[in-house]
Amino acid sequence: MTSRAIAWTDSLLPPLTFFTMASALYLVFVYVPTDEAQGIVQRIFYFHVPIAMMTYCSVATVALFSILYLWRGDRVYDRVAHAGGELAVFFCSLVLITGPIWARPIWGTWWTWDARLTATLILWLIYAAYLMLRSVSPGVEGARYAAVLGIVGAFDVPIINRAVYWWRTIHPAVLVNREGGTGLTDPRMQLALAVSFVGFFLLFLLLLRLRTDSLRLTDSVEDLRQQALTA
């Protein structure tokens, strides 16, 4: 990507993210009909599901760029993986917050050791450990160990995805049920979910870009400090 293309991306991404997220808020709280069975609390669905997808995108980013880092040894790849790990913990934390808010009025409890919920908590613990490993061992060796953990942790994502089909669970399949159908029959609901997906994906890209740049600047400052000490 050329410097001009990067400049255009940097200038367009923030306002586009803001506009899309604002549109999603309008659709969710004004446009879509209230679910007949679950009531108004169902509206959190339009945030909970896209946030879960961004968690998976973050984990995929960690795994992909960790593989590239182990293969090529380029610090650029490691910075992207590091940023992805932070976003994985951030978005997964939001999943674990919005899920119980939705579950309390529907299930009658904030938390249950459902297979999908438990696997999601394990995913959060894996990438929290990933960040802790990076903080206690900031050198090249620590980055390599963290890369391995980031790759291994990604195998929890398909377990989360298939948990509702492999085990008895009260967690809904969300988008496609066990019979292959979907609960989003109203086009307004489908539109709100689609816009929310786009908004959160743009937010993911924006945060990933900002955090990667921040890590690059941190590395530059550290390099200058080492040069000064050597001189």
Locate the domains of the chain by residue range: 3-31+38-230
Q: What is the pLDDT along the chain (231 residues), one digit of tens a residue?
A: 555 555 556 788 899 999 999 999 999 998 888 877 788 888 899 999 999 999 999 999 999 999 999 999 889 999 999 999 999 999 999 999 998 888 888 778 887 888 889 999 999 999 999 999 998 887 888 899 999 999 999 999 999 888 877 777 666 665 544 444 455 677 888 899 999 999 999 999 999 999 999 999 987 887 788 777 776
Give the pTM: 0.88
Cα 70 from Cα 76, distance rounded (Å): 12
Half-sphere exposure of 103 (CA within 13 A, CB side): 16
The values of phi and psi at residue 33, to 5°, are -75, 155
Strands (DSSP E) found in 43-202? none
Cα distance between residue 112 and residue 19, in whole Å: 36
